[in-house]
Structure 1
Amino acid sequence: MSDGPRNVPHKKQLAVSRRVRVPGPDADWAALHAFAQTFDAAFFLSSSTATIVQLAYRPAFEAVERGEHLGGDLGITLLRAALWFQARSDTFAGASDFSSPEVERFYRAVCEELHTRTHGWVEDAT
């Protein structure tokens, strides 16, 4: 009998899914900003920020500016990508609060829509 390695199959690791709470639209900037970073649009949508802006951020931001509902072609992935892009921009700018009333409306509108569509919970996709 050998003490060497045995050909014993290893147990498969199960993927562990972590869920994160979508903050309500009345949450403070820190909570909204932290939630936005629970998604990595560069991994899940595109490594090109120009593509993320074109597909997700610009359509979502403009819809909020026009006071439109964030439905239609903006699925959960695109909404989270748009929010991720805004948070990334805020981080690079060194923001510690909403940089403008428009940005505040954007964070709140996207989180409100996500909260409604997902019953307040999404997968941690960082």
Structure 2
Amino acid sequence: PPASRRPTGAEAADDPSARDRGAGDPRALALVLALVAVATQLETPVQNLVSRRIEARADAHALDLTRDPRTFATMQRELSVRNISTLTPDVVETQLWSDHPTGPERIAMARDWARTHHVPEPPPLARP
């Protein structure tokens, strides 16, 4: 087609350089979906960080209410074993994809809480 006029109808469908691209162009949907996928991958670790902090506060509250870090730590170990969770989690994987503190982190928190509150400290990984 001449440079002075825009292709129309069948000409536009056959012309890959046609500028009749817009929101209805299937490539626009593919681009939007790709951007959503990338944004989700970038956003998830941030959401998980916030979730882990909220869960850690809930754990601290449970310790404040029960004042029983040994039972708390034993329960965390049992949950890890029953859920087939590793007791030696990968740090990077945990930081990126875990939305709860790991069993070992929760057990360490119970031990710290016990030291701070001068109550008997549970053993590492809460082995009874």
Q: TM-score, normalised by structure 2?
A: 0.32
* Structure with bigger RCO (C-alpha 8 Å, 6+ apart): 1
Q: Which structure has the larger Rg over C-alpha atoms? A: 2
Higher normalized helix content (fraction of residues): 2
Q: TM-score, normalised by structure 1?
A: 0.33
Higher normalized strand content (fraction of residues): 1
